[in-house]
Structure 1
Amino acid sequence: MSEKNENSEFEWNIPAENEVGEALTDRTVAMPVTPAVGQGSDSEADAALATTVVPTVAAAGADSAASEAAAAASTSFISRMPVWAKVTALATAGALVIGGAFAVGAATNGFQPIPVATEEAVVRATPGTFPADVPLRTCSVAELAANANLGTLGAVVTNPATGETLLSIAGEKGAPTASTMKLATAAVALNILGADYRFTTKVVDSVTPGTVVLVGGGDPTLSEGGATVYSGAPTMADLASQALAKYTELNPDDPSITTVVIDVSMFPVADAWHPSWPASERTDGYHAKVVPLMVDGDRQNPSRATSPRSKDPVANAANAFVEALSDAGNLAEDITISYGSATASAVTLGSVQSQPVSTLIGQMIPYSDNTLAEQLIRVASVELGLGGTAASIQQTMVGGLGETGVVATGSTFIDGSGLSEDNSVSPAVIAQLVTGIIDPTKSYSPIIDALPVSGRSGTLSSRFTGDSAIAQGAVHAKTGWIIGAYTLAGYVDAEDGTRLVFSIVTHGDVSDSAKSAIDALVTGIYSCGNNLAAY
């Protein structure tokens, strides 16, 4: 058969398969020495090429005649090839043989590769989950926060709907709370006592003839019966009338009450005044001693919220009861007053109750009633079995606030009114408390409803004036003031419709001018809304 090269007129004559001989199964591995072009004879090149490419018969028993015939046919074929084709064939065959030799050597461990040092693989970091888009907030209140009238400032502003903290200035640092503490007291009272709890003052019988026991129940709203700042308060006159009527029924032959025993064992009177409270708070009319029995918050003038308080509120209450007994018709001319405790099995002769806690909170918060706050936290301690001591307030507060979702373990609680400068609660904790209070899934509406409103009610009725007047009606917050500190905490319905929670404390070298500076800062927060920047 013949095949024509595309690049020349040369025609190859390729022998048929039967010219080569039998099918072969092996190849020779003799290494040829290829002559340079133009050197050696054609016959030498033919022989070398034939030696390289001619297969040999591998099968056992193949006769030499067949081998010779195959060799002759191959040589005849090669001799007819042009020189350039012979050279190319020799080079190709040589390369194949050398490559095969290397492969065989490697397979039989005859070839040992030289190890090549490679760089250690670089492990690239896999991108994690990218955070959700955070809005770029550009409305800053930095200039307002830098007002020198704010002294040492602590502030936190959060968006309760998203859980974001928009602004924090020393937000995690403990500071005096002043009367914003009453928010904590109100929440704890609701959590421990319940919205329907009422203080109860009662009179019980005694085994001693002519003797009754007046048992204090911690109610500061109990009134003599005249004008009082506590709407709907129980009266001593009602209690005395009940007691005398029942005593007369039980003792018709001798109905006179000659001795009144005063029981103030509900919590210790030794804790009546904390040493960190300035005495002027009592004499100026802001706070009474904390005892289980008093009338009208121990005010000298029961019709005025701010009125001087006495040194012995229990004695004043005892005298008021004796007088009420006389007014009710008690026949004894002289009545002895002593102190002791009622027996557990004593018969109740009469009792009166305060308004429910939900109402008392509404009487405490708007005008910051310190005495109500202290009585509530002491009775809450008693309810927990902690004894109502001053020392138990820390545990009562931390435990009670837990139900509101507030983690207050790092805070210091000295009292329930915020009067002590030793109270230390961070703005972040107070903001967390406000967030819990306004949570619609929780039951703190008595607190929310009682919050003063900017320019409208309570202790904020005369604030937020001048440039801050634009925020009137939008701020719902509890004010606070003690010597060396001014505070404000609550929420603001901002101009853009966002409800923001805030807690602000100023302390150190501050004066009454801090109030207008706080108002200006909160007004700035009102104007910025959810665009409030963290700087």
Structure 2
Amino acid sequence: MLMKQQCLLKRAFLALVVALIALFPVTHEGTLSSVAASGDTTPVASIDSTTLDQKLQAILKDPKLQGGITGVSVRKADTGEKIYTSFGDIRLRPASNMKLLTGSTAMDILGPDYQFSTEVLTDGQVKGKMIHGNLYLKGKGDPTLMKKDLDQFAKDLKAKGIDKINGNLIADDSWYDDVRYSQDLNWSDEHNYVGAQVSALTLSPNEDYDAGTVIVEVNPGNKTGDLPKVTLTPETDSVVIVNNATTVAKGEAKSISIAREHGTNRIIIEGKMPLDGTRSQSWSAVWDPSMLAIDVFQKSLKAEGIEIVGNGGMKTGVTPSGATVLTSKKSMPLKELFIPFMKLSNNGHAETLVKEMGKVRSGEGSWDAGLVVMKEKLKQFGINTDTIVLRDGSGMSHKNLVSADELTSLLYNIQGKSWFPAFEASLPIAGVPERMIGGTLRNRMGDGLTAGNVKAKTGSITGVSTLSGYVTAKDGTELIFSVMINNYISGPVTPIEDAIAKVLAEYESN
């Protein structure tokens, strides 16, 4: 009987403990996100929550976080004091929050006024209207080079009286090494613009500057049974279009796929395009960006009446050291390039910056050299580099690791840098619809105190969503925050990030 009473007392005590835990949650330090059994897709926020800790803990009970891990770190921007952290010291995958590390180090190493360059050179002599020798198009990493720039090069040559080239047209991409993909890029991403090859000589199809890609546009044919019409921007013979699609009757469902065949420059188009169908458009990464550039340049020369004569053709090669520069172009300064880079989260820009940092600091335009330079600079920024793993510049790798506390530490420590205003201006701004201002946050947090207030970098790869940046609280306190959600499988989880940002925007310390 006594043992039975003791057992009942133990059960009653355990029930009381469970009830107390439910009423008074564990402190936020080092706790996992709580599990809820509801299928509700909106963030959980308790009406009764009053303190910052309680409000954020309530949000982190969202059922979509079950089985994953979420790192959150919040600091005061003026002192760097941490006012909230939950798994803030746990290394997590940053996705495109990696660009905060890449961008800050590039700003410091290269400088906000840094410009990339592209040159047109010859190893021969200009006699009369003819170049007797090869003509080189030498790229030095500019991801903003466009067809209009190659057209201008051709006009410059024409203005010099040149109308013939008795030699080869040579693409020189030797400014960087010949490794075109970062080490952990999935092969299934290679055809997509987010995984385009990184080359020192490359071309962008428009002013989003997705270098190494062409825009493929598919429109209906003239009648049922026709092949759909396909156009490329820029026009080029360096890729092969394989059109297996069909134009079908009005009202039928559209099902167009556009994908580059792995390891080739064959872009395969399949499916059905109804006569009344809207265009399908895709930014397709090419297999060899330098050959895309030289092919488009050859077309620009031809449009200006400049011919390649003799046995000359298009090749790749290295410009001799004594070659003569005939014309050249500098890119926009880095502070301007950062707008499409950070606002639109351009992966190619990030990887180019890694290679350029390696080239400038160590003379080697490679990921290996650039990542070493980045790590050294991050250490100077006060980051504990023993706790991070750098595998690329864009965050596409699932092997990158950094903690939320280190991200907020970085964002705190760089505020005093002379280039910081340009860096901050490049961050997406919540709820601002203009694409090059709101960026990847233009359709998020568009009301209340977050609109126009949250300035932060987004990040997303499979199972990962992140948001890190700056926000001004209701009481005027400037805050730095990082939210890193890893290993979620039911989404979207961006409403959780937005809810946290909303709490910070409404924060009043008194």
1:258 is aligned with what amino acid? G
Structure 1 residue matching 2:497: 3-state secondary structure: helix
Shift of 1:273: 1.2
Match of 1:154 in 2: 71
Which among 419, 429, 434 is matched to residue 396 of structure 2? 419
Q: Please list, as runs of the form range in 1=range in 2, the aligned pairs for 1:203-222 lying within 5 A after superposition.
A: 203-207=120-124, 209-222=132-145
Match of 2:455 in 1: 476
Which among 182, 193, 205 is matched to residue 285 of structure 1? 193
Matched, 1:360 2:337: yes
Shift of 1:147: 1.6
Which among 297, 301, 305 is matched to residue 329 of structure 1? 305
Change (3 A) 1:530 1:267: farther
Segment drifting more, 294-303 vs 147-156: 294-303
Shift of 1:471: 2.1
Match of 1:64 in 2: none
Change (3 A) 1:216 1:471: same
Structure 2 residue matching 1:365: 3-state secondary structure: helix
Which among 181, 186, 204 is matched to residue 103 of structure 2? 186
Match of 1:462 in 2: 443
Distance 2:343 2:133 in 1: 44
| Residue-by-residue CA offset, 1:406-459 (whole Å, 9 max, x unaligned) | 3434311111111111111111111112113433x5322111112111111111
Shift of 1:305: 11
Change (3 A) 1:529 1:257: farther
Match of 1:29 in 2: none
2:506 is aligned with what amino acid? S
2:328 is aligned with what amino acid? S
Q: Please list, as runs of the form range in 1=range in 2, the aligned pairs for 1:195-206 lying within 5 A after superposition.
A: 195-206=112-123
| Residue-by-residue CA offset, 1:297-348 (whole Å, 9 max, x unaligned) | 1222259997121112111111011111112221335741122211222211
Shift of 1:530: 3.8
Matched, 1:371 2:340: no
- Count of matched residue positions in the alignment of Structure 1 and Structure 2: 378
Change (3 A) 1:379 1:356: same
Match of 2:412 in 1: 435
Matched, 1:346 2:323: yes
Structure with more of its chain in strand, by fraction? 2
Alpha carbons 2:116, 2:142 under 8 Å: kept: yes
TM-score (norm 2): 0.69
Match of 1:40 in 2: none
Instruction: Report the structure number with the largest CA radius of gyration.
Output: 1
Shift of 1:356: 0.6
Distance 1:377 1:255 in 2: 38
2:90 is aligned with what amino acid? K
Distance 1:193 1:487 in 2: 27
| Residue-by-residue CA offset, 1:348-407 (whole Å, 9 max, x unaligned) | 111111101111111211111111111122111100115122222331211233454434
Q: Please list, as runs of the form range in 1=range in 2, the aligned pairs for 1:482-493 lying within 5 A after superposition.
A: 482-493=461-472
Matched, 1:240 2:154: yes
Shift of 1:272: 0.9
Match of 1:34 in 2: none
Distance 1:438 1:319 in 2: 44
Distance 1:462 1:305 in 2: 22
Matched, 1:508 2:487: yes
Change (3 A) 1:311 1:521: same
Segment drifting more, 169-178 vs 207-216: 207-216
Percent of aligned pairs with the same amino acid: 28
Distance 2:157 2:394 in 1: 34
Alpha carbons 1:201, 1:353 under 8 Å: kept: yes
Shift of 1:293: 0.8
Match of 1:80 in 2: none
Distance 1:155 1:484 in 2: 17
Distance 2:106 2:499 in 1: 32
Q: Please list, as runs of the form range in 1=range in 2, the aligned pairs for 1:31-50 lying within 5 A after superposition.
A: none
Structure 1 residue matching 2:106: 3-state secondary structure: helix
Alpha carbons 1:322, 1:335 under 8 Å: kept: no
Q: Please list, as runs of the form range in 1=range in 2, the aligned pairs for 1:18-33 lying within 5 A after superposition.
A: none
Distance 2:358 2:141 in 1: 12
Change (3 A) 1:257 1:414: farther
1:487 is aligned with what amino acid? T
| Residue-by-residue CA offset, 1:277-303 (whole Å, 9 max, x unaligned) | 223434333231111111101222259
Distance 1:390 1:221 in 2: 20
Match of 1:177 in 2: 94
2:398 is aligned with what amino acid? E
Shift of 1:470: 4.1
Q: Which runs of 5+ in 1 are unaligned?
A: 1-135, 226-234, 249-253
Distance 2:303 2:315 in 1: 20
| Residue-by-residue CA offset, 1:192-243 (whole Å, 9 max, x unaligned) | 1111111101011114833112111111110012xxxxxxxxx111123334
Match of 1:263 in 2: 172
Match of 2:29 in 1: none
Shift of 1:480: 0.4
Structure 1 residue matching 2:73: 3-state secondary structure: strand
Which among 395, 403, 408 is matched to residue 385 of structure 2? 408
Change (3 A) 1:161 1:381: same
Shift of 1:246: 4.6
Change (3 A) 1:247 1:377: farther
Alpha carbons 2:183, 2:391 under 8 Å: kept: no
Change (3 A) 1:415 1:246: farther
Segment drifting more, 515-524 vs 275-284: 275-284
Distance 1:166 1:173 in 2: 17
Shift of 1:529: 4.3
Which among 453, 469, 479 is matched to residue 429 of structure 2? 453
Q: Please list, as runs of the form range in 1=range in 2, the aligned pairs for 1:58-137 lying within 5 A after superposition.
A: none
Distance 1:386 1:426 in 2: 31
Which among 258, 274, 290 is matched to residue 182 of structure 2? 274
Shift of 1:256: 2.6
